[in-house]
Amino acid sequence: MPTTPEEFEQFKAECLKWIKYFGLTDWKVRFSHEEGDSTNRTDSSVAWTKANGTENRAAVLCLNKMSDDDDERPFLDIKLTAFHEVCELLTWPLEHIGTCRYVQPEEFTEARHALIRRLENTIFRDVDPFNEDRVQVSVSGQYLSPNMMTELISSHKELTHDQKQVFQKRQGQEG
């Protein structure tokens, strides 16, 4: 099933948000909504990043018009896809430098994707700096949003000592 023009606009907006967040504004970035051939890429066919070298700092972030696998469509997350492609840009110098030093390219590609998945599972899952309701704090292995903390206190449920400290510290920063 094809991605829509609306999804492409959301993809661009999300990419620009993360480009600004990571300070990648020194890159000349274009966006493309095109059909692609996933045979030359190691990652999902939903989207990809094209960049050459690091001197020009120019890249194209592409959202595939057509998915090679309709089974993936129900799981398409435009926000996560955009985040992933900006992480490709963030880590591009690692791959470029590594391939210039006669190391096997697939080793750096694997390392880059491992880093991206780590960022997806931490930064993206725990903190979306553009949505205050999604900001979460890990306390004693539990994730509590500010709203959840407020609800717990107002309902007089027991918080752990660590949770109370984090909540009080956050309240002091907001005041």
Q: Where exactly are the structural domains of the chain?
A: 5-130, 133-174
Band of pLDDT at residue 142, cut at 50, 70 and 90: very low
R_g of the chain computed on alpha carbons: 20
- pTM equals 0.60
Taking each helix axis as running N to C, give the angle between helix 78-100 and helix 105-119, from 0 to 180 degrees, rounded to the nearest 10: 150
Q: Which residue has the higher pLDDT, 35 or 137?
A: 35
The architecture in CATH of the region 5-130 reads 2-Layer Sandwich (3.30)
- C-beta of residue 137 within 8 angstroms of C-beta of residue 116: no
| Strands 137-139 and 142-144, sheet pairing | antiparallel
d(CA 96, CA 116): 16
- The b/e string for 95-112 (b: 16+ C-beta within 10 A; e otherwise) is beebeeeeeeeeebbeeb
Band of pLDDT at residue 76, cut at 50, 70 and 90: confident
38, pLDDT greater than 60: no
Looking at residue 166, its pLDDT comes to 61
Nearest alpha carbon to residue 100 among 62, 59, 55, 58:
55
- C-beta of residue 27 within 8 angstroms of C-beta of residue 57: yes
Nearest alpha carbon to residue 11 among 86, 89, 64, 79:
79
Average pLDDT (98-114) is 76
Task: Identify the sign of the CA torsion 32, 36, 38, 39.
Answer: negative
Band of pLDDT at residue 170, cut at 50, 70 and 90: low
Most confident of 112-121, 125-134, 159-168: 112-121
Kind and range of the H or E run holding 48: strand 47-51
> Which residue type sits at 7?
E
Looking at residue 80, its pLDDT comes to 92
Average pLDDT (80-87) is 93
